[in-house]
């Protein structure tokens, strides 16, 4: 074995073992204590799917008519669960007393930290003062109904989004 196409991944990941002196159809791949069925192989590569095992590091080896190869390791990782974001209550304000609101998001992820991104639909003229913080002021609101979004992203790239509205009443 000269290497693997990837050295870590989740259950179900397709992995190619690269090397030499494999046989076209008489190879046995051992992953930990599991023998892997349904191999795709030729003389320089063998492709298999990571079996259903717990997260951890496993030895990978190949046996063919020529004997057992050297081994390498593969790390099975847990799937990345997406974060959550609590609902954000809608707000109603009346001009001219105020034209801004304070909003706060609470994002959670059991696997690590999260980042925040506040956005508004294209064409919205209000200003989001701190678009990457967990809380922000939205200023410069005009009469009407405005919708905004916060996206919470975890360190694995998964995300969740919440939307909320701000109703701005014209002066009475």
- When pLDDT is cut at 50, 70 and 90, the band that residue 24 belongs to is confident
Residue 69 pLDDT = 75
How many Cα atoms within 13 Å fall on the side-chain side of residue 94?
2
Which pLDDT tens digit goes with each residue over 66-103? 777 789 999 999 888 999 999 999 999 999 988 999 99
- When pLDDT is cut at 50, 70 and 90, the band that residue 64 belongs to is confident
Query: Cβ distance 75 to 151 under 8 Å?
Result: no
Non-local (6+) Cβ contacts of 155 within 8 A are 109, 111, 112, 113, 114
Which pLDDT tens digit goes with each residue over 27-45? 899 999 999 988 888 889 9
Q: Is the pLDDT of residue 156 over 90?
A: no
| Cα–Cα dist 154/109, whole Å | 7
Q: What is the mean pLDDT of the chain?
A: 93
Q: What is the pTM of this model?
A: 0.66
Query: Cβ distance 152 to 114 under 8 Å?
Result: yes
- When pLDDT is cut at 50, 70 and 90, the band that residue 52 belongs to is very high
């Amino acid at each position: 074995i000269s290497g693997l196409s990837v050295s870590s991944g989740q259950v179900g990941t397709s992995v190619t073992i690269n090397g030499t002196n494999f046989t076209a159809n008489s190879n046995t791949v051992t992953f930990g204590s599991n023998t892997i069925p349904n191999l795709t192989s030729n003389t320089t590569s063998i492709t298999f799917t990571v079996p259903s095992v717990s997260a951890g590091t496993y030895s990978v080896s190949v046996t063919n008519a020529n004997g057992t190869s050297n081994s390498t390791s593969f790390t099975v990782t847990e799937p990345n669960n997406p974060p959550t974001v609590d609902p954000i209550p809608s707000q109603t304000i009346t001009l001219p007393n105020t034209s801004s609101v304070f909003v706060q998001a609470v994002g959670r992820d059991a696997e690590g930290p999260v980042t925040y991104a506040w956005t508004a639909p294209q064409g919205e003229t209000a200003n989001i003062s701190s678009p990457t913080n967990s809380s922000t002021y939205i200023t410069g609101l005009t009469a009407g109904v405005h919708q905004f979004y916060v996206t919470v992203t975890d360190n694995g790239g998964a995300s969740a989004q919440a939307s909320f509205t701000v109703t701005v009443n014209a002066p009475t």
